[in-house]
Amino acid sequence: MPIRAMVFDLFDTLVDLNFDASDTTEVAGRQVHSFVVRLHEALRERAEVDFQTFMEAVAEVDRSEGRPRYKEGREFPTLERFERVVRLLGLEDPELPEILTRVHMSGIFECVIVLPHHREVLDRLGRGAKLGICSNFSHTGTALRVIEEAGLRSYLDAVVISDDLGLRKPRPEIFLATLDALGVAAEEALHVGDDLRDDVGGAAPLGIRTVWITRRVRDPEAKLRDWDGPSPDWTVADLAELEELVGG
């Protein structure tokens, strides 16, 4: 059946997310990324909380609430995460979770790397198929900012972010929501992503053809050997390879 729609993961598929190891510093005996330091600095402007206590609160919230949700395929929005952290620290500051969210998302945004040739690839692919994004991300506003500033929005017919839906890949609901937004059946769609579990493992059981993109995958052969789920229909190293694949 002809491909009428192509759906893409966002991070490490359409854009790269590079947490540069050189942009770290030692605080309280541990190496942390600079935007974690900025998070604590933002907190300290409003409350006397030391770095270790802050990090322990973040770790506890992630352990007790984040992990169970992710295990069930439910999203844990960034704002809600910091609301829980602030509450655990015993602070009564209704503005603080939004401040921490803004600082954290600013740090994430700084780590985004745009691949300029992707705009040209999407332009050509979009002449023969509808294009959409289906992404796991805990803050929709930042995801949309990334898409806009990467110059990708004008090529997309639908954008579905897990923060909006409340459910994450590989749950079928987020794929079905994307298909519905594009107005196509599963057999008419192709999903492209870098994660075997979330992208290939989520899309394939629905009858969506899958492409595993390995540009940011360390040792793809080892990853594939260790993966016991459905095999990707195709594997590519660069998005530009999709043009020949679809054309063929």
Kindly report whether the peptide bond that precedes residue 232 is cis, defined as omega within 30 degrees of 0. no
pLDDT attached to residue 28: 66
DSSP string spanning 202-215? HHGGGT-EEEEE-T
Considering the domain architecture, whether residues 120 and 86 belong to the same structural domain is answered as: no
Residue 242 in contact with residue 13, Cβ under 8 Å? Answer: no
Structure tokens, 244: 């020949």
Out of 87, 110, 133, a domain closes at 110
User: Are 102 and 133 part of one and the same domain?
Assistant: no
What is the residue-level pLDDT of the chain in tens, covering all 248 positions? 899 999 999 999 999 998 875 577 777 667 777 888 899 999 999 999 999 999 999 999 999 999 999 999 999 999 999 999 999 999 999 999 999 999 999 999 999 999 999 999 999 999 999 999 999 999 999 999 999 999 999 999 999 999 999 999 999 999 999 999 999 999 999 999 999 999 999 999 999 999 999 999 999 999 999 999 999 999 999 999 999 888 75
Are residue 55 and residue 171 in the same domain, yes or no?
no
Residues 103 and 124 placed together within one structural domain of the fold: no
pLDDT for the residue 245? 85
Give the domain CATH number at 138: 3.40.50.1000
- Looking at the structure of the chain, the number of domains it has is 2
Q: What does the DSSP 8-state code read for residue 196?
A: I
Q: How far is CA 141 from the centre of its chain?
A: 12
Domain range holding 106? 24-110
Burial 128-153 (b: 16+ CB within 10 A, else e): ebbbbbbbbbbbbebbeebbeebebe
Residues constituting the chain: 248
- Clarify whether residues 192 and 234 are in a common domain: yes
Residues 121 and 239 reside in one and the same domain: yes
Q: Same domain for 128 and 193?
A: yes
Q: Phi/psi zone of residue 8: left (φ > 0), alpha (ψ -120 to 50 degrees), beta? A: beta
Do 84 and 140 lie in one domain? The reply is no
Of 218, 30, 41, 5, which Cα lies nearest the Cα of 132? Answer: 5
Same domain, 86 and 116: no
| Same structural domain, 93 and 122 | no
Of the three residues 79, 110, 141, the one that is the final residue of a domain is 110
pTM value?
0.94
Domain termination site, one of 78, 94, 110:
110
User: Does residue 69 share a domain with residue 161?
Assistant: no
Burial (CB < 10 A; 0-12, 13-18, 19+), residue 162, is buried
Q: How far is CA 246 from CA 24, 121, 219, 241, 243, in A?
A: 41, 12, 25, 9, 5
Query: Do 116 and 66 fall into the same domain?
Result: no
